[in-house]
């Protein structure tokens, strides 16, 4: 640095190029040229274009948001319609099920009634048959008892008239 | 793996420092040589001679063109990388002008954007090793600051007429103090372009000179040259930050001055 | 070794002017530190004040740059 200073002192020119006034005109001239060129580039081309792009993007975003809002509303609508259809279908299904159930119930009742009737008829028939059989059996028992009683009386050496024996047997077998 | 490379590189630096050490290590530091203005094709420098100033200002113009015009040429709704940066720069400055200078400052936006883009590009291009930094010259920054000063003063008087002088008449102060304050305000008003220009040039110049000084140390230290090289790396990172911040500060101060011109009420 | 006294004066003056850089560093540190202290108390208001922070730093730093410039002028231009 000392040598620099010496040089400056001896060579006359400044060792600090910033203070070399002979180059100032040159620098200022080219600076002004550069600034004017940049200003023209920016104000004519670059800035309007970027502003347009930004505005366009803002517009696109706004439009997209509106469209999204629209689509959302549509989706809500569709969901409502779907829910309604679902509820309708469910009600219809329930109605059909109830109807079918009633039909089946009716058929069932009819069948049960018929079966009951048949069963009752059968039962009555059977009862009658049983009664007949029972009567027949009682008749036979009475006859057998009479015969047996008569035979017993005869074997014991007595003789009895049939009516008395029958009367006595009837008396005993009663109850 | 990275560690191995790191140590290998370190060893290489040390060994090469031993081998390539200058015969007589001398501290040859010329931190100011990088700011020398020289004609590109030789000869004397007159006002129109193409110099390295011309070349690097053209590079700055080309960089601005590439970023803002070519970068946004696709006009994509979903921006690519260059277009994102261009839109970011646009939004950054636009918001700054709107916030600081107010709504009616927006019509000066292209002007302020021009200043910002030129300064930031010149600063960043100046960080390329071996390049020439146009914004390190007081002649350049003085013209930038003078443009701002003249614009602000003219706008102030055109917009407010004589009312612009109210900027210097602090009506909220006691009456006795006002003339004194007016003198102080007037001085500070005229110091503005000085500090405005010297801040930018001084910051850039100081950073680059520091880099050069450390580079001189590196040349002189032989095998220990890695120490200043690390320091250079750190200072370089700081300089990248400074390059942007000084452009930002220059721009925002322009906006503040513009606000004073548009709304001079104290 | 003629003219050495003048050089001595230049270098001493440059060194003294460089003290101004340190003073500016104190100023910038004050600005940044107070901003941080305020920002930690009210983080929501901090974002809107970064511009003010940078303006404050710029003003504080400008004076340091002035002293740096004085040093440079003494070294190279006087």
By percentage, how much of chain C surpasses pLDDT 90?
A: 35
Dist. CA C2–CA C75, nearest whole Å: 17
Q: What is the pLDDT of residue A2?
A: 42
- pLDDT at res. A151: 84
Which residues of C lie closer than 8 Å to A, measured between beta carbons?
3, 7, 10, 72-73, 75-77
What DSSP letter does each residue of B40-52 carry, written as one string? TTSS---TT--BH
Average the pLDDT over each of A70-84, A150-164, C20-34, C38-52 and give the range with the smallest value.
A150-164
- Range(s) of the domain holding residue C57: 19-77
Residue B167 contacts residue B256 (beta carbons within 8 Å): no
Using an 8 Å CB-CB cutoff, list chain B residues near A25: 46-47
The pLDDT of residue B22: 56
> Residue C4: which region, alpha, beta or left (left: phi > 0; alpha: psi -120 to 50)?
alpha
Q: How many independent structural domains does chain A possess? A: 1
| Comparison of pLDDT for A79 and A15, the residue scoring more | A79
Residues in chain A closer than 8 A to C73 (CB atoms) = 16, 19
CA distance B242 to B143: 21
- DSSP letters, B136-174, are GSHHHHHHHHHHHHHHHHHHHHHHHGGGGGGGTS-TTS-
Contact yes or no for C75/A3 (Cβ under 8 A): no
CB C46, CB C38: distance < 8 Å: yes
Q: How far is A66 from chain C (nearest CA, A)?
A: 32
A19 and C76 within 8 Å at the Cβ level: the answer is yes
Mean pLDDT throughout B149-155?
A: 94
- Domain assignment present for residue C30? The answer is yes
Q: How far is C12 from chain A (nearest CA, A)?
A: 13
Q: What is the pLDDT of residues A56-97, one digit of tens each?
A: 888 999 999 999 999 999 999 999 999 999 999 999 999 999
- The whole-angstrom separation of Cα C61 and Cα A143 is 151
Q: Are A159 and A139 in contact (CB under 8 A)?
A: no
Mean pLDDT score of chain B, rounded to an integer? 87
- Give residue A1's pLDDT: 41
**Interface mutation target, options B138, B203, B248, chain C, most CBs of C under 10 Å:** B203
Q: Check: CB of residue B85 under 8 Å from CB of residue B71.
A: yes
Looking at per-residue confidence, does B242 or B166 come out higher? Answer: B242
Which helix (DSSP H) or strand (DSSP E) does residue B239 occupy? Answer: helix B226-262
A105 touches chain C (CB under 8 A): no
Flag whether pLDDT at B17 surpasses 70: no
Residue C10 lies in a domain: no
Q: If you average pLDDT over residues A163-172, what whole number do you get?
A: 80
- Residue A160 carries which DSSP code? -
- Contacts of A159-167 spanning 24+ positions with Cβ under 8 A: A166/A142
Kindly report the number of other CB atoms within 10 A of residue B155's CB atom: 18
Assign A32 a pLDDT band (cuts: 50, 70, 90): very high
Number of domains composing chain C = 1
Does B202 sit within 8 Å of C68, measured CB to CB? yes
- What's the DSSP call for residue B39? B
* Chain C neighbors of B96, CB-CB under 8 A: 51
ipTM score for this prediction: 0.84
Minimum Cα–Cα distance from C72: chain A residue: A16
Interchain contact B172–A (C-beta under 8 A):
no
Residue C55 makes CB contacts below 8 A (sequence gap 6+) with B249, B252, B253, B256
Q: What is the CATH number of the domain that holds C35?
A: 1.20.20
Q: Which domain holds residue A80?
A: 2-173
């Amino acid at each position: 640095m000392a040598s620099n200073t010496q040089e400056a002192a001896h060579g006359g020119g400044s060792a600090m190029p910033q203070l070399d006034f002979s180059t100032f005109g040159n620098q200022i001239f080219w600076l002004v040229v550069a600034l004017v060129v940049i200003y023209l580039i920016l104000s004519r081309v670059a800035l309007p274009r970027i502003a347009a792009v930004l505005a366009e993007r803002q517009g696109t975003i706004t439009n997209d948001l509106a469209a999204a809002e629209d689509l959302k509303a549509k989706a809500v609508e569709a969901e409502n319609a779907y829910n309604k259809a679902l509820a309708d279908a469910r009600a219809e299904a329930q109605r059909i099920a109830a109807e079918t159930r009633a039909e089946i119930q009716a058929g069932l009742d009819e069948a049960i009634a018929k079966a009951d009737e048949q069963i009752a008829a059968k039962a009555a028939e059977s009862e009658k048959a049983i009664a007949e059989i029972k009567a027949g059996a009682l008749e036979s028992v009475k006859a057998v008892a009479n015969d047996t009683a008569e035979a017993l009386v005869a074997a014991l050496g007595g003789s009895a008239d049939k009516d008395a024996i029958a009367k006595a047997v009837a008396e005993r077998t009663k109850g | 793996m990275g560690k191995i490379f790191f140590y290998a590189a370190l060893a290489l630096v040390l060994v090469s420092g031993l081998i390539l050490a200058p015969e007589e290590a001398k501290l040859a530091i010329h931190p100011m040589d990088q700011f020398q203005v020289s004609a590109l094709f030789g000869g004397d420098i007159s006002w129109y001679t193409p110099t390295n100033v011309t070349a690097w200002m053209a590079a700055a113009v080309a960089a601005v063109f590439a970023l803002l015009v070519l970068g946004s040429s696709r006009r994509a709704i979903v921006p690519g990388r260059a277009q994102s940066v261009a839109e970011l720069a646009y939004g950054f400055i636009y918001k700054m002008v709107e916030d600081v200078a107010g709504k009616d400052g927006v019509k000066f936006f292209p002007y302020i954007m021009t200043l910002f883009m030129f300064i930031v590009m010149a600063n960043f291009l100046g960080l390329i090793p071996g390049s020439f930094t146009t914004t390190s010259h007081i002649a350049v920054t003085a013209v930038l600051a003078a443009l701002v000063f003249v614009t602000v003063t003219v706008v102030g008087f055109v917009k407010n007429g004589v009312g612009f002088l109210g900027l210097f008449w602090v009506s909220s102060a006691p009456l006795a103090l006002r003339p004194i304050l007016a003198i102080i305000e007037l001085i500070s008003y005229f110091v503005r372009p000085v500090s405005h220009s010297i801040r930018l040039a001084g910051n850039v110049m100081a950073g680059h000179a520091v880099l050069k000084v450390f580079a001189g140390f590196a040349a002189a230290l032989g095998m220990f040259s890695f120490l200043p090289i690390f320091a250079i790396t750190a200072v370089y990172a700081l300089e990248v930050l400074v390059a942007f911040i000084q452009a930002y500060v220059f721009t925002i101060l322009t906006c503040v001055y513009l606000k004073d011109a548009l709304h001079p009420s104290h | 070794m003629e003219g050495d006294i003048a050089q001595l004066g230049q270098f001493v003056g440059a060194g003294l002017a460089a003290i101004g850089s340190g003073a500016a560093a104190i100023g910038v540190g004050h600005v940044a530190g107070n901003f941080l202290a305020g920002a930690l108390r009210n983080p929501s208001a901090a974002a809107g004040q970064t511009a003010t922070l940078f303006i404050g730093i710029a003003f504080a730093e400008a004076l340091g740059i002035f002293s740096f410039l004085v040093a440079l002028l003494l070294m190279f231009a006087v």
